[in-house]
Amino acid sequence: MGVLMLIVGVFVMVLCMCTAVLRWNEMRYRKKGLPPGTMGWPVFGETTEFLKQGPNFMKNQRASRYGSFFKSHILGCPTVVSMDPELNRYILMNEAKGLVPGYPQSMLDILGKCNIAAVHGSTHKQMRGALLALISPTMIRQQLLPKIDEFMRAFLSNWDNQVINIQDRTKEMAFLSSLKQIASAESSSVAQQFMPEFFKLVLGTLSLPIDLPGTNYRRGFQARQNILKILGQLIEKRRDSEESHKDMLGYLMRNDDNNRHKLSDDEIIDQIITILYSGYETVSTTSMMAVKYLHDHPTVLEELRKEHMGIRERKRADEPIEWNDLKSMRFTRAVIFETSRLATIVNGVLRKTTQEMELNGYVIPKGWRIYVYTREINYDPFLYPDPLAFNPWRWMDKGLESQNYFLIFGGGTRQCPGKELGIAEISTFLHYFVTRYRWEEVGGEKLMKFPRVEAPNGLHIRVSSY
C-alpha cells in the first residue's frame, strides 16, 4: 500500500510540475495584442504535434478554436500560422515591408546561410540573378534539356519485368539528374559518395535544431560537412584543370567579364546545395505521385500516353526530346500541376518579421516566424470545383495557372526560380516512362501527406513493357 501511495504521489507531483511549466511558458507569450493560440513546452513548443498531426493540427485543433490566424511554437521558433488566402498573398508580396524568409534554424544550418532561400535584399537579388542565369529558358533549351534527355533515356532502360520501389527510383532520378546538370563530367564518379550524404541532409532540414547524437539534425549537419568536402575538392580540381565545362558549376566558376553574378566559393557551394535540395524535393515527389495518380485514373493515363506517343511517332527511335516537343506537352503540364495541387507537395512557406508589425489586427513581435499555410487553398471548391478529384483537364484553361491564389510554386519575389526546369525534368521522365512501360501497384502501401509526401514502406509497382 505504501509503494502504491508513493507512485501516486510521484505521478501527482510530475503532473503538477508539467502543468506549471506549461502555464509559465504560456505566460511568457501573453503579450497584449498577440494572436490567440497556445505555445506548448519550452524549447520544444508544439513541434511534435505539428509534425505528427499536420493538417489536423492546423485545421481541426487550431483553426476551429482560434480562427485562420493563430500563434504556436514550432521547429524551435515562436510562430504565427496564417491560413487566410488574402493575407497570405499580402505576406508573400511584401518582403520589402519587413517580411523576409524565415526558415527554421535547422534548415539554415544545414542548407547554409548563403543559400538563396535564406538571404534577402541586394544579396538575394544577386543570388537569384546567378541562379536564373543557370536555368533560363535559353539554358534549358540549349544546355540542360539535352542532358536531361540523355539521363532519363538511360535511367529508364531495363525496368521491364521488375518490381520496383518507385519512391526510391524517383528520389535517385531527381538527385542524379540534377547532379548531371551541375557537374556533367564528374557526376558518375562522385554520385555514390554524395547521394547517401545528401539524403541525410534532406531529413535534417525539418527537425528540431538540437545537436545530440542520433538526431536527424546532427546527422544532417554532419552530412553537410561531408558534402562541403566533396564539393570543395571538385571546385579545386576544376581550378587546377584548364578544361572548360558547359554545366552549372562551370558557369558559376567563370571569372570572365560576361559573368555578372560572381560568387565566392562558399556561395557557389551553398547555391549548388540549394539547387539539389529544391529540385530533389519537388521533382522526386511529384514524379512518384504522378505515377500513382496515373495508375488510379486510366482515362488520364490514356490521354497522357496519346500525347507522348504522338511525339514519338514524329521521331526516330533514338531521337531526343527537344524544346518544341517540350512546349507541345500541354496535357503533361496539366498533369504535373494537378498532381502538385492534389498531393500538396508544398504545404506552405515561412517568413520572419524584421520589426514589430501589425497583421490582421494583431501585433507580431520582431523576429517571429509566420507560417504561410497554403495547403487549404488547393482544396478550395470555389477555385477548384470538385477539389478532391484528380482532373488535369481543369488546367487546360491557361487562366487557372495565372490566378492570384496559384501558390503551388510559391509567390511574390520568391516564386520558385526552377519551376520550368522542374517541369522539364518531370515531363521528360513521364515521356519515357509512359511510352516504354505499363505498370500495376503491388502491396497497396500507405501514403503520408505531412510534413512531406512519402510512402513510409515504399511504393512498389510491377513494370512490364508497353
Q: Show binding-site residues for heme.
A: 416
The residue type of 190 is V
Residue listed under C-alpha cell 540534377: 178
CA quadruple 374, 375, 376, 378: dihedral sign: positive
Which residue in 276, 311, 320, 333 sits closest to 149, CA to CA?
320
Angstrom CA distances, 270 to 99, 109, 171, 206, 274, stand at 23, 11, 21, 18, 6
Cα–Cα distance for residue pair 401/448, rounded to 1 Å: 26
Which DSSP category does 96 fall into?
G
Tell me if residue 73 falls in helix, strand or coil: strand
- Grid cell of 441 as nine digits: 501497384
Which residue in 205, 186, 208 sits closest to 274, CA to CA?
205
Cα–Cα distance for residue pair 203/220, rounded to 1 Å: 7
State the binding site: 416
Residue listed under C-alpha cell 566558376: 253
Beta-bridge partner residues of 442? 460
Alpha helix segments (H runs only) across 187-264: 187-205, 216-240, 248-252
Cα–Cα distance for residue pair 338/9, rounded to 1 Å: 57
CA quadruple 423, 274, 135, 88: dihedral sign: positive
The residue type of 45 is G
Beta-bridge partner residues of 463? 162, 439
- Grid cell of 158 as nine digits: 531495363
Torsion, Cα 294 299 300 306, to 10 degrees, reads: 110
- Please state whether the peptide bond connecting residue 392 to the residue before it is cis, i.e. omega within 30 degrees of 0: no
